[in-house]
Structure 1
Amino acid sequence: MNEEIKFILDTTKEGMDGAIAHLEKAFVKIRAGKASPIMLASVIVDYYGSQTPLSQVANINTPDAMTLSVQPWEKSMLQEIEKSITNANLGFNPMNNGENIIINVPPLTEERRRDLVKQAKAAAEDAKISVRSARQEANKEIRNLDASEDLLKNAEVDVQGFTDTYIKKIDSILGVKEADIMKV
């Protein structure tokens, strides 16, 4: 096989792998009813005048499936962390017990679950668009090569095979996430 075609196919596969990786990162941020430290990833704390992510000033744990525990490295930061979690508008009601902050994660309503499934489907569609865009780019590069007609056609067939495989993979990942979200 022509070196240029092999390079184009490898680059295309890399781009499609990137789309899957991005989708998985997006799915991690979509809550599925269980408590996860990632739920607090967007919380920024005023740490002695500097805006700092919560994960850099405290340890975040999940003692059980419905509870988050935030243990600051400095007890003096308890009030500030509590205020930051409330101000982040995540729908959590933090409770300060003097040692750490406990957050009970409320169960998801049916309506909220449907909204999260819509979010997941939108993220999956974005990933599919990314995969199709990689296919389109690869086909454009293949058509610009100076090689035999058969070689070019085979390369396009390979690219389409990649595309089909990655679209199925995206649908499979979405199915798992959707089942996870809708599970009560």
Structure 2
Amino acid sequence: MIDEITQDARSRMTKSVDSLKTALTKIRTGRAHPSLLDQVMVDYYGSMTPIKQVANVVAEDSRTLAVTPWEKPMVSAIEKAIMTADLGLNPASQGTVIRVPMPMLTEERRRDLVKVVKAEGEAGKVAVRNIRRDANSDFKDLLKEKEISEDEARNAEDAIQKLTDKYVAEIDKLLEAKEKEMMEI
């Protein structure tokens, strides 16, 4: 019973951290990285499809992404999808290759992005703490129903707290790395 609750909490906390990682990759630094376009959906013959499934996305250099569609007629659809994705990017097609230059970030914009990163991190920490609260609540319910002893409940809550501390520290590490990356020129 306790192991199931702990295992569930662990998997949910892992998912929260993974969700934060995904959110942080969407926040653009000055450097070109293919994952910046992961969330772009292209109208592929009537169905919305991730850009990865209709084109090859590579970092040509530190400031430019090159998008090469698998099919030549998709060039304009991909270009339009990148423009409408609200990423602040202006693609330019050159034959069958779409080049996406990364604009330079100003100091003020970097500081704004750091605030966004911190807000995302705080949301991740809140999610982890909510999972801890849910698990502790489950332990208390088991204790009320006399399915576990007080010692078992206390030990289980301690284990969940250690798990929470571990994931919060992991989130802090992610935030620190992203913040450092954001402030690099």
Q: TM-score of the superposition, structure 1-length normalised?
A: 0.87
Deviation digits for residues 84-122 of structure 1 (CA, Å, limit 9, x no counterpart) = 333434322222221311121112111221122122111
Structure 1 residues 134, 45: closer, same or farther in 2, change over 3 A? Answer: closer
Structure 1 residues 136, 83: closer, same or farther in 2, change over 3 A? Answer: closer
Q: Using the alignment, how far apart are the partners of 2:174 and 2:42 within structure 1? A: 34
Structure 1 residues 103, 138: closer, same or farther in 2, change over 3 A? Answer: same
Given residue 82 of structure 2, which amino acid in structure 1 is its aligned partner? I
C-alpha displacement at 1:182, in angstroms? Answer: 1.0
User: Residue in 1 aligned with 2:182?
Assistant: 181
Q: Please list every run of 5 or more consecutive structure 2 residues that lacks an aligned counterpart in the other structure.
A: none
Q: TM-score of the superposition, structure 2-length normalised?
A: 0.87
C-alpha displacement at 1:54, in angstroms? Answer: 2.9
C-alpha displacement at 1:83, in angstroms? Answer: 3.3
Structure 1 residues 76, 171: closer, same or farther in 2, change over 3 A? Answer: same
C-alpha displacement at 1:49, in angstroms? Answer: 4.3
Given residue 70 of structure 2, which amino acid in structure 1 is its aligned partner? W
Q: Using the alignment, how far apart are the partners of 2:135 and 2:88 within structure 1? A: 44
User: Residue in 2 aligned with 1:16?
Assistant: 13
Greater displacement, 83-92 / 69-78 = 83-92
Q: Please list every run of 5 or more consecutive structure 1 residues that lacks an aligned counterpart in the other structure.
A: none
Greater displacement, 57-66 / 76-85 = 76-85
Q: Using the alignment, how far apart are the partners of 2:60 and 2:102 within structure 1? A: 12
- What are the within-5 Å matches in structure 2 for residues 2-81 of structure 1? 4-81=1-78
Q: How many matched pairs?
A: 181
Greater displacement, 80-89 / 116-125 = 80-89
User: Residue in 2 aligned with 1:91?
Assistant: 88
User: Residue in 1 aligned with 2:149?
Assistant: 148
Q: Using the alignment, how far apart are the partners of 1:139 and 1:64 within structure 2? A: 49
C-alpha displacement at 1:156, in angstroms? Answer: 1.4
Q: Using the alignment, how far apart are the partners of 1:49 and 1:9 within structure 2? A: 44
Q: Using the alignment, how far apart are the partners of 2:160 and 2:47 within structure 1? A: 48
Deviation digits for residues 4-62 of structure 1 (CA, Å, limit 9, x no counterpart) = 22222222222211211111111121112211222223434343444443333221111
Greater displacement, 41-50 / 101-110 = 41-50
User: Would the aligned equivalents of 2:25 and 2:36 in 1 still touch at CA under 8 Å?
Assistant: no
Structure 1 residues 88, 157: closer, same or farther in 2, change over 3 A? Answer: closer
Q: Using the alignment, how far apart are the partners of 1:22 and 1:45 within structure 2? A: 23
Q: Using the alignment, how far apart are the partners of 1:12 and 1:47 within structure 2? A: 39
- What are the within-5 Å matches in structure 2 for residues 112-151 of structure 1? 112-145=109-142, 146=146, 147-151=148-152
